[in-house]
Every structure is written in C-alpha cells, then in structure tokens.
Structure 1
Amino acid sequence: MTEQSYKTKEVAQRLHVSPATILKWVKKHDIPYSINSYGHYCFEEETMSMFYTIKKENQKLVYPDAGQSDVVSSQLAIDRLAATEEKVQMIERMVVNKADDIVTFQLVEHRKTVEKLNKRIQKLEAEVDKLQVQDQGLTSEFEKDKEIKKNKRFIPSLFLFD
C-alpha cells in the first residue's frame, strides 16, 4: 500500500497557515518533499509531524504565555477597569477643553470682524452725513440764487407799463 501524500495547499489547510508559510518552512528546515508531474510539492504522511512541531515552536516564539493558563483575580480586573475608566474620563475632559478653546477662538475672531465692520459703518455714516450737509448747503444756495433772480425780474417789471 502506498503512503498518502499531501500537496502544499492541503498541508496548509490542515495546519491553518498559508501555503507560502509551508514553503518557507520547507526551505528553512530542509523538510523532504517530492514533486509530482504537475510541478506541485508533495509531502508524505511522516513529514506532517515535522510541520506540527515547527508550528508549535513558532507559536511559542510569538505567544510565549500561550501554554499557561493565567487566572486573573476579580479585584485585579476591577482595578484595571477603574484605571481605564479614569483614563477615558481624562480624555473626555481634554476633548471638552479643546472644544471650548476652539469655540472661544472662533468667538474672538468673529468679534474682531464685527468690530471692524462697525468701524467701517461709522465711517460710511459720517461720509453720508457730510454729503447731506453739503447737499443742504447747495440747496439753500440754489434757493437764494433763485430768490435773487426773482427779485431782479420783479424790479424791472415795476417800470414796465402795459
């Protein structure tokens, strides 16, 4: 009876890793393989134990405490939760303060703009007042001139006889 052989993809699925990881392990650890007629790597059943061993070693390197079951006391969990809540509250206060600062800055800028506009309006009102005074002065002079011309016509008309 012939032994079962697995392709790279099948080995990767059994170990829950990517096929690229299997190929890296083959090169790094000199795992024996054969190549089928399609050019695929094939692994015998006995090499599967090597892959499992390599995977366990890599997990220990990445997660050194994975094999240990640590029990966390409820008081420690409560303390950590309280510390986290304090940090969240502090961050919330910082956000509120920052928002207040931004609103204050915007109000100051708006106030400056309004003051500039008020000054400009006052200048324009002064100009309008000046123009109105000048217009009234011209109108009164025009009326005086009209009155003088009227009087000049009246005097000669006294001497005219019809």
Structure 2
Amino acid sequence: MLLKTKQVSDELGVNPTTVQRWVKYFDLECEKNELGHFLFSSETVEELKLIKNDLRRGYSMEKIKSSGASDPPEQVMVSPERFEQRLDRFSVRLEQLERQLEEKANEVITVQVLQHRTELDELMKKITSLEEKLMELEDHTSIQEAVGQSTGKGKRPWIMSLFSF
C-alpha cells in the first residue's frame, strides 16, 4: 500500500515539506502519481524513520547521507584536553559576542538619546515661540483695554453690537 506525503508526515510527526526535502536530499526512491505527488512504500517510510531518528540523535544530514540512513554514524571521541581547548575558545568567542552586543546596544541608546534631545529642543523652540505670541497677545489686549477705558468705551458697546442690526 502506498502512502501520500501528508500521511507519511503525520506518521513521522514532521511537516510535509520536511518529508519532501528528505526525499530529495537523500535521493529516496518514491513513486509519483499523475499530478507529480510522492507516493511512499512501507520500505521508504522505514528509511525516513531511520533518518528522523539519526537527526534526533544529533547527526547532520550530510553525515547520514554519506554513511547511509540505515547505518548509524560512527561517533568520534574527543580528548579532554581538546574538549577544554574548544570550550575555552567558545568561552572567549562568547565573551567577544557579548561585548559586541553591549557596544551595539550602547550605540542604539546613544542614537535614541540624541534623537530625543533633538525632539526636545524642537519642542522648547515651539514653547518659546508660543510664549512670545502669548505675550504679544496679552500686550495687544492690554493696549486695547487701555484705549477702551480712556475713550469711555468698555465691553458693553461691543456686546450691544451683537444684538443690534
């Protein structure tokens, strides 16, 4: 019985595109239907299960392909000294990356602070301009009131002009 890609992906617990990618990468033999969709035999499904297990154990796709999906890839032992060297190099590199990340974060913060400072300066200019205009309006209003008081005209004639035609 032949299975479709979706059925195989459900059985393996992976995405259908992952199944398709594995078939192409590992050159697995599959039949295709009239629409060009893969049809999987039980043997192919078993090969895919072995591939999935090997990947789960941490083997690279390249290593699985070169050794064959059914053969477990050989494990290489690393001496404790070599392991310590690699760990030290990894630690140094991690510290470098952390410093670079901190520098980049500081650069971003600096740019943001400068941008906020520019925005604050613009707001201060607008506030100063508004204060000047407000003072001009107050001066103009006080001059009009002074002129209105000296001529004996107050707010009453203005209010009366609203009601008269």
TM-score (normalised: structure 2): 0.49
TM-score by length of 1: 0.50
Greater relative CO, 1 or 2 (CA 8 Å, sep 6+): 1
